[in-house]
Amino acid sequence: MDILSLFVIVPVLTILALVFTKDLKQARITAMIGSLVQLGMAIHLIFSYFEERAVNKSIMLFTQDRVWFEHFNIHFATGVDGISAALLLLTSIIVLAGVFISWKIDDLPKEFFISLLVLATGVYGFFISIDLFTMFVFYEIAVIPMYLLIGIWGSGPKEYSAMKLTLMLMGASAVLLVGILGIYFNSNANGGALTFNILEISKVYIPFVAQKLFFPLTFIGFAVLGALFPFHTWSPDGHASAPTAVSMLHAGVLMKLGGYGIFRIAMFLLPEGAKEWSWFFIILSAIGVIYGAFGALKQTDLKYINAYSSVSHLGMVLFALLMLNKTAWNGAILQSLSHGFMTALFFALIGMIYGRTHTRDITKLGGLLKVIPFISVINVIAGLASLGLPGFSGFVAEMNIFVGAFQHDELFYRVATIISVSAIVVTAVYILRVLGIMLMGPINNAEFLDLPKTTWYEITGILLLLIPMIGMGVAPLWLSDMIMASIQPFIKGVLKF
């Protein structure tokens, strides 16, 4: 059994074990053990990746290939590079944190954890695949449980939000499927067989006309998941209705699938198309960056604020990817990781605050720093990290993006960069506004004078997310070098044109 397939097998086994559990206690312990094993595997993977990388210079390591459906040349092909290894680690941490945050879920716990792990399976599978078709399948596996998770365990207008989210993502994946098939049917340009394997396709020159046609399809198909303006509207409603752990997982990991897919498929396989279209999508993503930040400025619901801030931050990821250079790409991947931790932490905190005060409206909250100091202090830290304070991961990622984007030779791109940089000011405004209203000031509601203390599982969940965030921010060198090295073969394809 190779170590990558285990990433799919372990969650499946956990799900099987969960089927036999009887109550919340057993379910959460099982889910926790499964996620812990997964985390251990992810850490192990990072170390073995470094070992293997030292001797093996190929693009993907630990590659495995099993025929799945011979007629169409579909394989279950797996392999990782530094980027997917890092994202796997991110996923496993967030899943574990999500399990801790849902420690006290009382409504259908078994089913909840099963859905959560199905989602996780999809994400893991997506990150380890190097076959377009299996990637697509795992992508769908990850999206579908969202409907159940939001529709059943959500709050507010949950059916509406779940429907909206699922429909928009499904619509996007329809577009994406066309793009993928377009790539597939052009993958025999040099006379070989049709193939879904990314590495194989990358050796083929796909005709320019096809690239130009299929790049936008593939890009938009993934970018909807990455909340590209104007396809972001599922995200605020979806996040607002989703239960805490699902918001964490969704914003923290699932939305990263968008950026990752663009990087791995759209940019890698269709570099010329990317070059051709980048100006157009740059405009959209730069609008998204600013627009999300301004959108967050006026909201009063904590989850909406965070959802809009995600639009802004992930707009940055797409923006950086479109800059088509090494530093910006590095920044995009780092931003994906950093935003994953940050936003998951935010959603966890929002969940805790909501669980105690039963409101997410910041105008009703106030002075929480006095009542629940631990959560509030972490909230301040997360807020500062989110506005790009040095010492946290956000700074590292953003600076890579800005410096990288600014290296572009054309003035248009540099101007777009300056516009995006201005988001750091607006971000500061909305973050400080929330902190000021929610945590500081007098306590304006007598009910909030005495709130429950934080529990060990909440603290564990928080620390799991906080530590990598600080680690990345204080000592980014190893991570950014690992990612940079993995980007190298990808950037070569783009630079050829």
Partner 1 sequence: MDITYIILIPLIPFSVFLLLGIFNQQIKPAISGYIGVIGLSISALLSYYAAYQYFFVYGKVDEVYQTFVKKTVWMNFTDTLHIDMGILVDPISVMMLVVVSTISLMVHIYSRGYMKGDDGYTKFFSFLSLFTFSMFGLVLATNLFQIYMFWELVGVSSYLLIGYYYTKTSAIAAAKKAFIVTRFADFGFLIGILIIGYYTGTFDFETLNNPEGSAILNWASTSYMGLSVITWALLLIFMGGAGKSAMFPLHIWLPDAMEGPTPVSALIHAATMVVAGVYLVARLFPMYYFVEDGFALKIVAYVGAFSSLFAAIIAVTQTDIKRVLAFSTMSQIGYMMLALGVSGYKGIEGVGYMASMFHLFTHAMFKALLFLCAGSVIHAVHSNYLKDMGGLRKYMPITNITFLIAALAISGVPPFAGFWSKDEILVAAFENNRLLYYVALFVAGLTAFYMFRLYFGIFWGKETKYEHIPHESPLSMTFPLLFLAFMSIVAGFVPFSELVTADKIGFEGHMDYPLAVVAVAIGLTGIIIAWLFYKKENDLAAIFSSFFGIFYKWTSNKFYFDEIYLFVTKKIIFDHVSTPIARFDKKYVDGTMEGIGNKTVLISNKIKGLQSGRLQDYAFFFVGGVVVLALVFIYIWTN
In contact, 432 and 303? CB cutoff 8 Å: no
> Which of 68, 294, 354, 457 is in the footprint of partner 1 by CB under 8 A?
294
Q: Closest distance between partner 1 and the C-beta of residue 203, in Å? A: 27
Q: Closest distance between partner 1 and the C-beta of residue 222, in Å? A: 18
d(CA 302, CA 37) in angstroms, rounded, equals: 33
Paired with 78 in beta bridges are 64, 129
In contact, 183 and 265? CB cutoff 8 Å: yes
d(CA 311, CA 171) in angstroms, rounded, equals: 19
> Which of 43, 59, 170, 424 is in the footprint of partner 1 by CB under 8 A?
424
> Which of 249, 269, 369, 372 is in the footprint of partner 1 by CB under 8 A?
369
Paired with 129 in beta bridges are 78
d(CA 385, CA 243) in angstroms, rounded, equals: 24
Q: Closest distance between partner 1 and the C-beta of residue 403, in Å? A: 5
Q: Which amino acid, 213?
A: L
The torsion of the CA quartet 47, 50, 55, 59, rounded to 10 degrees, works out to 120
d(CA 118, CA 380) in angstroms, rounded, equals: 33
**What does the angle CA 146 – CA 149 – CA 153 come to, to the nearest 5 degrees?**
155
399 belongs to the binding site for partner 1 (CB under 8 A): yes
> Which of 157, 192, 390, 452 is in the footprint of partner 1 by CB under 8 A?
390
Q: Closest distance between partner 1 and the C-beta of residue 240, in Å? A: 13
CB proximity list for 34: less than 8 A, separation 6 or greater: 10, 11, 13, 14, 17, 117
> Which of 355, 441, 471, 493 is in the footprint of partner 1 by CB under 8 A?
441
d(CA 209, CA 102) in angstroms, rounded, equals: 49
Residue span 94-123 as binding mask against partner 1, x where in contact by CB under 8 A, dash where not: ------------------------------
78 belongs to the binding site for partner 1 (CB under 8 A): no
> Which of 181, 406, 471, 493 is in the footprint of partner 1 by CB under 8 A?
406
Q: Closest distance between partner 1 and the C-beta of residue 305, in Å? A: 11
Residue span 296-315 as binding mask against partner 1, x where in contact by CB under 8 A, dash where not: -xxx----------------
167 belongs to the binding site for partner 1 (CB under 8 A): yes
Q: Which two tokens stand for residue 342?
A: 């940050």
Q: Which residue stretch of 115-123, 180-188, 210-218, 428-436 sits at the interface with partner 1 (rule: CB under 8 A)?
A: 428-436
Q: Closest distance between partner 1 and the C-beta of residue 320, in Å? A: 13
Q: Which two tokens stand for residue 307?
A: 């959802």
Q: Looking at residue 62, what DSSP letter applies?
A: E
Q: Which amino acid, 263?
A: F
Q: Closest distance between partner 1 and the C-beta of residue 400, in Å? A: 6
* Identity of the residue, 273 or 295, whose beta carbon is nearer to partner 1 in the bound complex: 295
Q: Which amino acid, 16?
A: L
For partner 1, the binding residues (CB under 8 A) are 164, 167-168, 229-234, 291, 294-295, 297-299, 326-327, 367, 369-370, 384, 387-391, 395-396, 399-400, 402-404, 406-407, 414, 417-418, 421-422, 424-425, 428-429, 432-433, 436, 439-442, 476-477, 480-481, 484
